[in-house]
Amino acid sequence: MGIQFAKALGLKVVGVDINDEVLQAAKNSSADVVINSRNSAYESDLRRATGGGADAAVVFSAAQAAYDTATKILKIGGILMVIGLPPEPIRFNALELMKKLYQIKSESTGPPQQMPRAIEFIAKHNVKPKVELFKIDQINTMIEKMQSGKSRSRMAVVF
């Protein structure tokens, strides 16, 4: 959905991940460029693709490594959006923040007062979530898939 929102805003999207399946899904969802950050040249590949670094990086992962990668690919003064919520506090380099190499921002994803505006945007731009449906007797399978990190979509239980 993040790619759909970014494209609706007219942004160029670069998908960065360590999983080729996730990157292929991003490409299929209209990402302009996909880069595997396990590749030793990922930083230079991204800088070349963006003309010097990303204006913003939105981290959906709950992994510290994703935040570490994101700070490396931003152009000076870029924005790091915190979305993924790790179980432990996220660590950032205080010297990098003091030098204003990047800014950190976050946004709550669901306060009721923002819903009408969000729904209007979603309807106007035809943003559609990918949802995998499970029957009630499959709930343990769904939970296992979520906990193993193998989910590639929203998951819902159908009664």
Give residue limits of the domains in the chain.
2-111
Mean pLDDT rounded to a whole number for the chain: 90
Report the pLDDT value the prediction gives residue 110, as an integer from 0 to 100: 67
What is the fold, at CATH topology level, of the domain defined by 2-111? Rossmann fold (3.40.50)
| Residue 152 in this model has a pLDDT that exceeds 80 | no
Report the pLDDT value the prediction gives residue 154, as an integer from 0 to 100: 86
Q: What is the per-residue pLDDT across 43-93, written as a single tens digit (0 to 9) for each?
A: 999 999 999 999 999 998 888 999 999 999 999 999 999 988 888 899 999
The closest of 65, 71, 151 to 103, measured between CA atoms, is 71
Angle CA 87–89–91, to nearest 5: 130
Higher per-residue pLDDT: 69 or 111? 69
Report the pLDDT value the prediction gives residue 86, as an integer from 0 to 100: 85
Neighbours of 106 (CB within 10 A): 11
